Amino acid sequence: MAGSAGQSNHAGASSGGVATSAGTSTGTSGGVAETAGAGAGALGGATSAGGDPSVETPNGGEGGATSVPDACPQDPNKLSPGECGCGVPEAPSATLADCHTLESLLVHRYDFEGSGTAVKDRVGTAHGVIAGGATLSKLNGKGVVQLAGGSTGSYVDLPNGTLSSLKNATLEAWITWGGGNAWQRIFDFGDSTASVPENNPAGGKTYLFLTPKSASGILAIAFSLSSQAQEVGVAGPAVLAQTLKQVVVVLDDDADLLQLYLDGVKLGEHAWTSQLSKINDVNAWLGRSQYSADPELNAVYHEFRMYGAALSAAQVKSAFQAGTDPAFLAY
């Protein structure tokens, strides 16, 4: 975000940026108001769904201990081990229909398999490229890209119009964040105030972004069609943990809602009456901000998926249970 001394000024409540409080929202001009004590916070008092301590991540994340079934149900309508969450807690409720629905709604999927700098879209034709010196690599046998962060770090550049071409949308990122300064971007779709906005960060103009750490130190999303002062967004209760995490943003144009999920659990939502078609996404970036003062992302990016629909809470949970590179998405 644009700010003095290389820092974002997003935290200023009076300018409509992300406001901070111990339990109440204090933003006064339409910015993303954050509540460090509540489960979620945003403009106008967004409600929180709270966390679910019984949910266990497929990779040993936070949550209470739950038993994992040794084998999947023998019902032919159920799944084989490793498919759509089978073999993780609550998997017996997942069916082949759940998987097929998720698969049918996918419009773009990036699994970072391969080598070099080409990022292949496994579902559509919106292939991307890695900029800034990084290349595709392997981690535990699966494709990843390591984004180094900093002021000249690497990022993934996706084709123009990737987001604005959708009506309802769900964006699902699987990352292991490496920590660091505030206002890094898990993704940022939009344009800047530069005279030539494409490929040139300056100040943010129109955008949708997701950050692992705002100025208040918490996970947050923001949407704007004009400036920081006009942001609408949702904030989580804490900074993103530095373990493998699923972070999901749902943009439901039909229901006028913006929602944020972490590891299959809804953190909060906020009224959203705009349209994705109004974003000028000449910059479709994973790991880079429209604001030149913001650092690039320090993280291992495992997978990124875009759905052409607003996934339900049950569908987001099924996608989480499936983990990265699930069998039902193997091409």
- To the nearest whole percent, how much of the chain has pLDDT over 70? 69
Least confident window among 85-99, 239-253, 298-312:
85-99
Contact 128, 157 (CB under 8 A): yes
- pLDDT score of 35 more than 60: no
Q: Between 262 and 327, name the one with better pLDDT.
A: 262
Q: What's the whole-number mean pLDDT along residues 278-298? A: 97
Residue spans of beta strands (DSSP E) within 182-316: 187-192, 204-211, 220-224, 232-235, 245-252, 257-262, 265-271, 283-286, 296-307
* Band of residue 249 on the pLDDT scale cut at 50, 70, 90: very high
Q: Which domains, and CATH codes, for the chain?
A: 4-56+65-329 (2.60.120.200)
pLDDT of residue 326: 86
Least confident window among 15-29, 53-67, 274-288:
15-29
Kindly report, residue by residue over 47-102, the tens digit of the pLDDT: 333 434 333 334 433 333 333 334 444 444 455 544 555 444 444 445 566 667 88
Q: In the chain, what is the greatest distance between 2 CA atoms, to the nearest angstrom? A: 61
| CA 77, chain centre distance (Å) | 31
- pLDDT score of 40 more than 70: no
